Each structure stands twice: as C-alpha cells, then as structure tokens.
Amino acid sequence: MLEVAIVEDEERDARRLEEYLARYARENGREIAVSRYGEAISLLENYTARFSVILMDIELPLLNGMDAARKLRQVDTSVCLVFITNMAQFACEGYGVDALDFIVKPVSYADFYLKFSRAVSRADASSDDEFHIRVAGGVRRVRACDIAYVEVRSHSVLYHTEQGVIESRDTLATVEERLRPARFLRCAKSYLVNPRHITAVDGAKITVGDEVLYISGNRRRSFLKEFTAWQTGRG
C-alpha cells in the first residue's frame, strides 16, 4: 500500500491529482491510499509519518508550502516530497528541503506520470532504510543511514543524526536489535555507531563526523572484527 498526501487548497487542482493517482494505480497495478488536506497546518498537526509521497502546493493559505516543508523535515526526513506549483522560480529553494521534483500547473498527466514514478521508485527504495523513533507526542521518521551514532544517557536514548539530536525513551538493547539490519556496531556499553559515518579508527578512538568516541577495552577486538567485516562486505 502506497500512502499519498495531497496538500492543495484549490478544489479543481486537488481533484485532478486524485484522478491522476487513480489512473496511475490502475495502469501500474498499485494500491494507493490518498489523503487530502486543504492547507498544510492540518497535515502537520499530529503528523504520524505514514506517507510515502506528499504532493504539496506552494501557494497555500495560513502556511505556504515551502515553510511547511521545512517544518515537515524536522519530523520526517525520508518522505518523498513533490511540489505542485505555478511558481517554478522556487525550484532552487526546494533543494533545501530535499524536494524530489516540481510539477508545474496546469498539471498534465504525462508530466505527472513521469515525476510521480520517480517518487514511487525512491519511496520503494528507501522503505527498507526507514527508522521510526518514538518521541514525546508522536513519532519521528528518519533514514537509518542518516543516523551517525546512538548513545544512552540515564533513561534516554539520543540519536545523533544529520538533522540534529533526537531524544527518545528506550533502551539501547532494544534500539540495537531494531538497527541490526543497518549493521550498527556497539563500540561501548553506551554507544552504537553507524560504520558509514566512521572516518577514522585510531587505537581506542573512533572519529564519527566531528565527534570522537572511544572503544571500551572489552569490546575492542569484537568491534574491529565487525568493522573490518563491514568494510569487506561493503567493498
């Protein structure tokens, strides 16, 4: 099931997108569930990170689409975002919110089909890498590859991501199990490290981005063995 959100205040334009989605589903044998929002605030309120693709107009009441996208990326870094607009000059600005593409109004089915197909391909490819983090008031969705490392402090788990630190109430053992498919490595009692973000290993020190972490003595042998195996498998 592919869940798609349409954020569009113009009834005629929203109906056209719904028709195109229905046609796309028939032609490609996909099951698509569509949710419509007349403005972005309704989408962002109690956001649950369930959508694979969001089709968003830029000219919206109360909160324009570009500002809404910035807020959206604070809680969901992986959803595929496509702007629907007659303001093509905003294309460059869209890169700042990781928008996949723009579809210029009036939307033709040929243009929609091409760009929505790209969105579906990206959504399908990234679904295995999605990671949901329970936070106060809801869920944050990130890509596992964007998590540099995870640490536990008292009863809180801190996810250090490319978008900042996300705090959750959990145990590191539970997180380690959930991140097992992404091959995170335990370097110490309180740390899980994403080997993709390791830039240097020097004795007991690991450089992860701009941070230096330490390998505990009782884990050094197993950590280096697992890191070497990851590097070999990656190559």
pLDDT tens by residue, the chain, 235 residues: 899 999 999 999 999 999 999 999 999 999 999 999 999 999 999 888 889 999 999 999 999 999 999 999 888 888 999 999 887 666 556 566 788 889 999 999 999 999 999 999 988 877 667 788 888 777 788 888 889 999 998 889 999 987 789 999 888 889 999 898 889 999 999 999 999 999 999 989 999 988 999 999 999 999 999 999 998 875 4
Is 37 within the bounds of a domain? yes
Domain end point (choices 105, 129, 153): 129
Q: Is residue 183 in a domain? A: yes
Looking at the domain assignment, is residue 134 inside a domain? no
E strand map for the chain: 2-7, 32-37, 53-57, 80-85, 99-104, 130-135, 138-143, 147-153, 156-161, 164-169, 185-188, 191-193, 198-202, 205-208, 211-214
d(CA 201, CA 219): 14
Of 66, 53, 65, which Cα lies nearest the Cα of 112? Answer: 53
**pTM, 2 dp:** 0.70
Whether residue 160 is contained in a domain is answered as: yes
**pLDDT tens track for 121-148:** 988 877 667 788 888 777 788 888 889 9
The boundaries of the domain holding residue 209 are 143-234
Say if 147 falls within a structural domain. Answer: yes
**Contact of 8 with 57, CB cutoff 8 Å:** yes
**Cα 126 to the center of its chain, rounded Å:** 8
Residue 163 and residue 95 share a domain: no
Q: Which residue has the tokens 């007991």?
A: 204
- Are 95 and 164 part of one and the same domain? no
